[in-house]
Structure 1
Amino acid sequence: MGKVLSGLDMFHIAEVLIDTKDELKFSAPEELPGAVNMKIDPKSEQEVFYADNVAYATVNSLGDIDGDMEVADLPLDMQSRIFGKQVEKGIHFSSADDKTLEIALGFRAKLSTGGYRYYWVLKGTPELVPVEHKTDEGKATPQTAQVKIKFMPLTNVKDGKRRWDAKAEEGNGVNAETWFKQVVYNADSFASSENDTVVDVGK
């Protein structure tokens, strides 16, 4: 029987602290409650090479990686941290000088055969959150926060190996507690227990 994915929960966000050719470092992940929807749309650019008067080979290259995240709410404190807003006496101010963080995003989806499939998308820059509200028409209408994120491969070629995502299914040490403990960008970055036992994920 094939596997069917359903549901979505456990959004986690971490800051990309350093991503250079020689060094890679993330902050500790922080959970963002209220996951509603997540879409990751990597664009593949395809080039056909012709030889001997026929299509001889097809070369694929990675293009844009578009992400759409929807949550019940993106708290003001988290918005200020992600988008570099200034907070004065509890008031959150936006300015033309704000600097948006690069973030990694983790989440999971339920498998019909039991357990979950886990994800990390490793580096993305969110767009500012639009403000859209609607008057209640006889009953309260829930209004969610929708964030567009432009993802890209890591710059790091030593540890991150220019990767842009990691996936694993539950088992062999992979579960909610271990997967979201850190951003998983290679096998050595994943610790499945307090003794830092490493399982083979992220390849």
Structure 2
Amino acid sequence: MTKLVHGLDQFHIAVLTKDTKESVEYEAPQSLIGAVDVSVTPNVDSNTKYADNGAFAVLTNLSDIDVSMTVVDLPQDIQSLIFGQKQEGDVVFSSIDDQAVELALGFRAKIQDGGHRYYWLLKGKPELLPINHQTDEGNVESQDAQLNIKFMPLQHNGNWKAQMDSKTVTADKWFADVVYNKATADALVK
């Protein structure tokens, strides 16, 4: 059944602490209030094989996934967490030695039948946050934070995204843990 999807809320991030063939571990998800928009673009390399005087087959390979998210504000404590910045008193310093963490990004949208479409993108590396401000010029407009993240599949199982349409799963349950495999998905319906 076709469903109309609209809206966006409930940005969450979770730091990825381990990704091996044997296991995956995340820190507890943290909420980011003020979701404005998100764009997810999987990059696929393709090559057409020609035979018998025409296109015979297309070979495809997923490379990385470009994600751009806009939030009303990315608080300084979250910036420090994801970019590895150091705080000295009240001042936060960015350094060439900072190391951005790998993280999961979760969010949800509404669907027409009253439920929600939930997402987790499972392993991404954020790019440094640009600084963009402008004068008010006679009217006041907010200046949102836009974060770009390069996502890739997990080494553990090759998954890069979890997605679910539901009328019964709540945001509290979906965002309690990162949903990255069958066991974490099965826990949602118990």
Query: TM-score w.r.t. structure 1 length?
Result: 0.88
1:144 equivalent in structure 2: 144
Q: Please identify, of 49-58 and 61-70, the stretch whose mean Cα deviation from structure 2 is larger.
A: 49-58
State the percentage of identical aligned residues.
Answer: 49
Q: Which residue of 1 aligns with 2:163?
A: 167
Q: What is aligned with 1:110?
A: 110
Where does residue 29 of structure 2 map in the other structure?
29
Farther off after superposition, 74-83 or 136-145? 136-145
Q: Once the 2 structures are TM-superposed, how far is the Cα of residue 2 of structure 1 from its aligned partner?
A: 3.0
**Which residue is 1:63 aligned to?**
63
Q: Which residue of 2 aligns with 1:93?
A: 93
Correspondence for 1:182 among 159, 167, 177: 177
1-structure distance, mates of 2:150, 2:162: 17
Gaps of 5+ in 1: 198-203
Root-mean-square deviation over aligned CA pairs:
1.4
Higher RCO (C-alpha under 8 Å, 6+ residues apart):
2
Runs of 4+ in 1 over 4 A off after TM superposition: none
* Residue 192 (str. 1) matches residue 188 (str. 2): yes
Structure 2: gaps spanning 5 or more residues:
none
Q: CA deviation at 1:109?
A: 0.5
Give yes or no for contact 1:29–1:180 (8 Å, CA) kept in 2: yes
Following the alignment from structure 1 to structure 2, what is the Cα–Cα distance between the partners of residues 136 and 50?
57
Q: Aligned partners of 2:49 and 2:147: how far apart in 1?
A: 38
Normalising by structure 2, we get a TM-score of: 0.94
Partner secondary structure for residue 148 of structure 1: strand
CA distance in 2, matches of 1:143, 1:118: 27
- Equivalenced residue count is 189
